[in-house]
């Protein structure tokens, strides 16, 4: 096992796990608050930080990853931020202050920020059909969707119906495809919509051109036969069947934190932090989709999704890692709205 040997220096080494919105925002603030420090961003991914909000453009044929770069490569040199790509974190060892990478390298830290985000949650009964589902998390995934659909008039089934999925559904409908949302209890997630309010929002989806199916659980998904649609979905309890070019699942997020299990920090669904984004380990902070923040107003831990919240967390984590004491404002009303055009909008999803 190779061990990274630190240069002898007094400079604090900040290590950030995650090269997304939270990690990058934190890195920028760390650099400005502690100019002499060492900053290392670690990511399992192959590419630099990309603007995923723009991925729907891939459906219009734009698929060069450079088009989606948030910062040019020179930015990281200028800011003296080391980006370690293709580096999968396997374990955190707080006692020795090292993280272990899958390729058996260890990286030591003085202060650690966990900003590892999350991946789409897939209910147990759908896992055996994973290979028949399309994802939308990378440019490659988005390209695969484009290739699976005709230029227009394609058919897409969206299982679950969380806000990320509905946002993509809107783009697909505008491109002339048919979108059927097989709604689950995750419809509109992470917004919690009461049974009384739901019909109004479902009507808005239909007005936007989507078809919404309720109370139907998938019994199985099959590859379609030659000359027919590529996928066949069969529903439980005589719920019938559907044929589609693309089937996608949008059941909310599952935080990516396997590597920190057993390290002594508290975890519920996400990594638990106080409003200052500290974990129970005084050298470990967390920010972004991976963490659940204590909300004194609501008396429970909660997630804060979306670009603006995630960036704000990155900034606050950096302030507190460098001796500050700022708290995330945990009282926020996240709203699902129907805008003047009669379309659904989420205050979580604003990113400009």
Ligand X SMILES: Cc1cc2nc3c(=O)[nH]c(=O)nc-3n(C[C@H](O)[C@H](O)[C@H](O)COP(=O)(O)OP(=O)(O)OC[C@H]3O[C@@H](n4cnc5c(N)ncnc54)[C@H](O)[C@@H]3O)c2cc1C
Binding site for ligand X (CB under 6 A): 17-23, 42-45, 52-53, 55, 88-89, 115-117, 136-137, 164, 167, 256, 259, 288-290, 305-307, 310, 348-349, 351
Smallest gap from Cβ 42 to ligand X, in A, equals 5
Query: Beta strands 89-93 and 98-101: pairing type?
Result: antiparallel
Coil/strand/helix, residue 27: helix
Nearer to ligand X, 115 or 272 (CB): 115
Smallest gap from Cβ 311 to ligand X, in A, equals 8
Nearer to ligand X, 172 or 242 (CB): 172
Nearer to ligand X, 148 or 219 (CB): 148
Distances in Å between the Cα of 298 and the Cα atoms of 25, 211, 265, 306, 309 are 27, 35, 22, 20, 17
Q: Tokens in use for 213?
A: 């199916």
Query: Beta strands 118-120 and 218-223: pairing type?
Result: unpaired
How far is the C-alpha of 138 from the C-alpha of 52, rounded, in Å? 8
Nearer to ligand X, 49 or 201 (CB): 49
Would you say how long the chain is, in residues?
Answer: 352
How far is the C-alpha of 181 from the C-alpha of 222, rounded, in Å? 18
Smallest gap from Cβ 225 to ligand X, in A, equals 31
Smallest gap from Cβ 45 to ligand X, in A, equals 4
User: In 10 A of CB 332, how many CB atoms?
Assistant: 15
Nearer to ligand X, 90 or 241 (CB): 90
Nearer to ligand X, 202 or 248 (CB): 248
Smallest gap from Cβ 291 to ligand X, in A, equals 8
Query: Beta strands 111-114 and 246-249: pairing type?
Result: unpaired
Nearer to ligand X, 87 or 229 (CB): 87
Nearer to ligand X, 110 or 135 (CB): 135
Residue pair 179/166 in contact (Cβ under 8 Å)? The answer is no
Query: Would you state the torsion angle of the CA atoms of residues 169, 171, 176, 182, taken in this order, to the nearest 10 degrees?
Result: 0
How far is the C-alpha of 261 from the C-alpha of 265, rounded, in Å? 8
Coil/strand/helix, residue 59: helix
Residue of 326, 327, 275 lying closest to 301 (CA atoms): 275
Residue pair 29/319 in contact (Cβ under 8 Å)? The answer is yes
Smallest gap from Cβ 21 to ligand X, in A, equals 4
């Amino acid at each position: 096992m190779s061990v990274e040997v630190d240069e002898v220096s007094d400079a604090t080494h900040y290590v950030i796990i995650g090269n997304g919105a939270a990690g990058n925002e934190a890195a920028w603030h760390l650099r400005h608050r502690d100019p002499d420090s060492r900053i290392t961003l670690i990511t399992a991914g192959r590419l630099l930080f990309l603007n995923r909000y723009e991925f729907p453009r891939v459906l219009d044929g734009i698929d060069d990853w450079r088009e989606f770069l948030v910062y040019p490569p020179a930015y990281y040199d200028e800011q003296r931020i080391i980006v370690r790509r293709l580096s999968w974190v396997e374990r955190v060892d707080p006692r020795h202050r090292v993280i272990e990478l899958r390729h058996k390298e260890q990286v030591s830290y003085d202060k650690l920020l966990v900003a590892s985000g999350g991946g789409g949650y897939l209910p147990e009964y759908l896992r055996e059909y994973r290979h028949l589902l399309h994802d939308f998390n990378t440019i490659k995934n988005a390209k695969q969707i484009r290739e699976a659909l005709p230029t227009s008039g394609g058919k897409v089934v969206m299982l679950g119906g969380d806000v990320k999925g509905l946002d993509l559904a809107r783009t697909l409908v505008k491109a002339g495809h048919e979108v059927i949302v097989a709604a689950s209890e995750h419809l509109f997630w992470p917004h919690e919509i009461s049974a009384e309010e739901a019909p109004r929002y479902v009507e808005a989806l239909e007005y936007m051109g989507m078809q919404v199916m309720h109370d139907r659980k998938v019994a199985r998904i099959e590859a379609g036969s030659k000359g027919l649609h590529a996928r066949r979905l069969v529903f439980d309890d005589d719920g019938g069947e559907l044929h589609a070019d693309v089937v996608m699942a949008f059941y909310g997020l599952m935080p990516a934190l396997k590597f920190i299990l057993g390290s002594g920090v508290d975890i519920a669904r996400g990594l638990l932090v106080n409003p200052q984004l500290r974990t129970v380990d005084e050298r470990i902070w967390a920010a972004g989709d991976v963490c659940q923040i204590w909300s004194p107003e609501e008396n429970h831990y909660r997630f804060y999704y979306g670009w603006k919240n995630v960036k704000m967390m990155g900034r606050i984590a950096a302030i507190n890692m460098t001796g500050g004491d700022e708290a995330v404002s945990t009282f926020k009303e996240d709203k699902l709205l129907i805008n003047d055009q009669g379309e659904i909008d989420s205050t979580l999803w604003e990113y400009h």
